[in-house]
A and B are shown apart, each in its own frame.
Chain A
Amino acid sequence: MRILIIEDDRETAEYLRKGLAESGHVADHAATGPEGLAMAPGGHYDALIVDRMLPEMEGLAVIQQLREQKLTTPVLILSALGQVNDRVRGLRAGGDDYLVKPFAFSELLARLEALTRRRGGDDLEAATHLRAGDLEMDLLRRTVTRAEKPVDLQPREFRLLEYLMRHEGQVVTRTMLLEGVWDYHFDPQTNVIDVHISRLRAKIDKGNPIPLLHTIRGAGYSLRAPA
């Protein structure tokens, strides 16, 4: 991936750049809003990371201008402002996701991957059916099968699996699950998500030689079918 970081704090920018490089991505850095505005359209970036509090020009204004120029590159807003209204404002201004500082790099990476993946156009089949290996989900009938055998899921487990399947092959963090499945924008600070995942795993992976639901240490989970 090619990422543009619009961030005035050199240290944070360097940390992001290094982390992204180590994960096999290329990152450019713009230290001010105008610089970012100039770089974003021509660089063919896969995603932008935009800090909200920038000198000269606010991050949200940068995003708004880019959106006015019909730039559709996904934007991840990175900000110390973490209240609900801040997030709402950020997303309304054209951001695609919002991450509050301080953040874990694994979280940032997982969200970036989710953002860039989402761009792929979904056809009608994808809108009603999700598939990962021999795991199939019928969104209309709300049924799940693994190797053509029905899997019985509770409504919330269904939504959890749906979220994981929609982000197939990507790392999904606990916070992403809490936000995406429960609409909780806070961390309950316990292993609740782990317990939900292990229940789900028991239902879809048990008795199957190939596990689909993987735990990524220090980051989260990933639903992945062997290639």
Chain B
Amino acid sequence: MRSAAPATACVPRLNLVRTTAFRLTVLYLALFSASVLAILGFIYWSTVAVLDRQTRATIEAEVKGLAEQYKERGLAGLIDVVRDRSGEGGGRDSVYLLFDPQVGPLAGNLAAWPTVATGPGEWITLDLMRREEGRLMPHEVHARTFQLLGGYRMLVGRDMYEKTKFRRIVVETLAWSLAATLGLGLVGGVILSRRMLARVEGVTRTARRIMQGDLSQRIEPAGSDDEFDRLAESLNAMFEQIERLMAGMRLATDSLAHDLRGPLTRLRGRIELALIHPPDPALDRNALNDVLSQTDAALAMFDSLLKIAAAEAGVATTELKPLDLGALARDAAELYEPLAEEKGIRLDIETRPAPRVAAQRELLAQAVANLLDNAVKHTPAGGAITVRVVEDGGGAMLTIADTGPGIPAVDRERVLERFVRLQESRSGPGAGLGLSLVAAVAKLHGAHLRLDDNPAWLTTERAPLAAPGTAGPGLSIEICFPPAPEQSFASAAQ
């Protein structure tokens, strides 16, 4: 029974008869049976028409022949012929009767003039009983009557045995084919439904397990590469995404709780200390200054998280406007240039003509600023940072490379997650949200983000770097933007 009970661990089983596959099978069977019926009906109807026509033609010919006999040999001759034809030697399918209204039957194999035949020259159908292998069997006879000179009447008929036999064959065929169709169809339908049911049940089972909290469950594809496998693939991809998002959210909440506890505890400590010691304007002011900066740090963390969340949630495509990535990169580089210079880092910017990208300027600018900020922070004095924008595969590619310690390959995925800071940068300022924002912004723009060691072009093509400026393999971050779709420019043109 289907119940309105909430979907819990108790999964109501699907009823075979209720499955779509089964219903489709039944519908198909009905249609198929109707077609079989129609086709056989048509064959029957057209064949019977041919048989009827043939019989009539035969009878007409016979009537003609008999009329000639009568004309040539008179009544006696006609009687002879009729006797001859309806006797032992005559065809057993023929029926004759020469009838004198006064005397009765003169010749033929019919006992009496049939009551249905009233006038001359008409076609009649007689139901006769005929002895066949010792039994009387009903036979249908098609016949024609006509009037001879002298008041004699004549009847010539044909047994429609063939037609009856054919009808019986058709009806039997029909019955058998319908039975076979229904039988095979039902068996096929049940097998088909069971197969589909099994796979649907598999999907349902997996979904239930996931709902119960086991996010690692996936649907087992049958390997048949059919629409069910494709559905399973799509669903699995969706489950993957959900699992990733859930894991990300859990990590973010945990990290948020953990990372905020730090500044909040220090905040509380400072306030408490300030309250404990005797009032002293100078010390109190110091404490307040500390409290203010701690609060600002916590607020900045929240701000970054909100920005990441907003970028991850995506923006309407109408908010993406065509943008010159080179100009944006130059602006950002120019903002950080004095900072780099002060630290003794060379900042080079190189932009080549590249197609414009569909972008949300503010988020993208912040992402680039975050990258430059990181680069300046991690590159030792004497090092170099290169910002490059070039055309790439129809889109535009932004590269920011530095000569800092770099990020080990194993950590490259991880640093894009929220609150993840590598051990060496843990002590420095920042909450580990900068790269997460970059990743979220890249994703929002459909761009591909790639972290790598600083490629050779930085160290070989350019002036050789002084050893103190190279703390490790360096880091190169590439963001590859796809070509901007036309419609994003259409909305921006207004």
Interface residues of A (CB under 8 A from B): 83-85, 102, 156, 182, 184-192, 195-196, 199, 218
B468 within 8 A of A: no
Asked if B366 is at the interface of the complex by the 8 Å CB criterion, the answer is yes
**Pairs A-B, 4 closest by C-beta atoms:** A195-B338, A188-B369, A186-B366, A195-B339
Choose one: B334, B335, B360; the contact of A188 (CB below 8 Å). B335
Chain A residues within 8 Å of B122, by CB: none
The answer to the question of B331 belonging to the interface, with a C-beta cut-off of 8 Å to chain A, is yes
Whether, in the assembled complex, B61 has its beta carbon less than 8 Å from a beta carbon of chain A, the answer is no
Q: From residue B184, how far is it (CB to closest CB) to chain A in Å?
A: 64
B300 at the interface (CB under 8 A from A): yes
> Which of B289, B365, B376 has most A Cβ within 10 Å?
B365
Which residue numbers of B lie inside 8 Å of A, CB to CB?
Answer: 289, 292, 299-300, 303, 307, 310, 319, 331, 334-336, 338-339, 342, 360, 362, 365-366, 369-370, 373, 376, 430
In Å, the complex CA distance between A182 and B448 comes to 27
Write out the residue numbers on chain A whose beta carbons fall within 8 Å of the beta carbon of B376.
190
> Are B338 and A199 interface neighbours, CB within 8 A?
yes
Among B307, B339, B430, the residue within 8 A (CB) of A191 is B339
Task: Tell me the bound Cα distance from A187 to B462 in angstroms.
Answer: 33
With a cutoff of 8 Å between Cβ atoms, the chain B residues found around residue A192 in the complex are: 335-336, 338-339
* Cβ-defined partner of B369 (8 Å) among A85, A102, A184: A184
Contacts of B360 in A (CB 8 A): 84
Residue from the list B292, B300, B339 in contact with A187, Cβ < 8 A: B300
Closest chain A residue, CB of each to CB of B302 = A102
Q: List 10 A-B contacts (CB under 8 A).
A: A83-B310, A182-B335, A186-B307, A186-B365, A187-B300, A188-B335, A188-B370, A190-B373, A191-B339, A192-B338
Q: Across the A-B interface, how many residue pairs have beta carbons closer than 8 Å? A: 46
- Once bound together, how far apart are the Cα atoms of A174 and B30, in whole Å? 80
* Shortest distance from the beta carbon of B438 to any chain A beta carbon, whole Å: 13
In the bound complex, how far is the Cα of B334 from the Cα of A188, in angstroms? 13
Give the CA-CA distance A191 to B300 in the complex, in Å.
Answer: 14
- Since A186-B362, A186-B366 are in contact, a sample of 14 more A-B pairs with Cβ atoms closer than 8 Å, ordered by chain A residue number, is A84-B360, A102-B299, A156-B334, A184-B369, A185-B362, A186-B307, A186-B369, A187-B300, A188-B335, A188-B369, A188-B370, A191-B339, A192-B336, A218-B289
Closest to A154 in B: B334
Alpha-carbon distance A83/B311, docked complex (angstroms): 11
Residues on the A chain within 8 Å of B366, using CB:
184, 186, 188
Q: Is B342 within 8 A of A188, CB to CB?
A: no
Residues of chain A lying within 8 A (CB to CB) of residue B362: 84, 184-186
A189 touches B365 (CB 8 A): no
With a cutoff of 8 Å between Cβ atoms, the chain B residues found around residue A85 in the complex are 319
- Among residues of B, the one whose C-beta sits closest to the C-beta of A193 is B335
CA distance A196 to B337 in the complex (A): 9
Beta-carbon contact of B339 and A190 below 8 Å? yes
Residues of chain B contacted by A187 (CB below 8 angstroms): 300, 303
CB of B319 within 8 A of CB of A184, answer no
Residue in A83, A156, A189, A199 whose CB lies within 8 Å of B373: A189
> A64 to nearest B CB, angstroms?
23
Q: Which residue of B lies closest to A178 (CB)?
A: B335
Residues of B within 8 A of A182 (CB): 331, 335
Q: A81: shortest Cβ distance to chain B, in Å?
A: 11
Q: Please give, as numbers and ranges, the residues of chain A lying within 8 Å of B336 by CB-CB distance.
A: 192
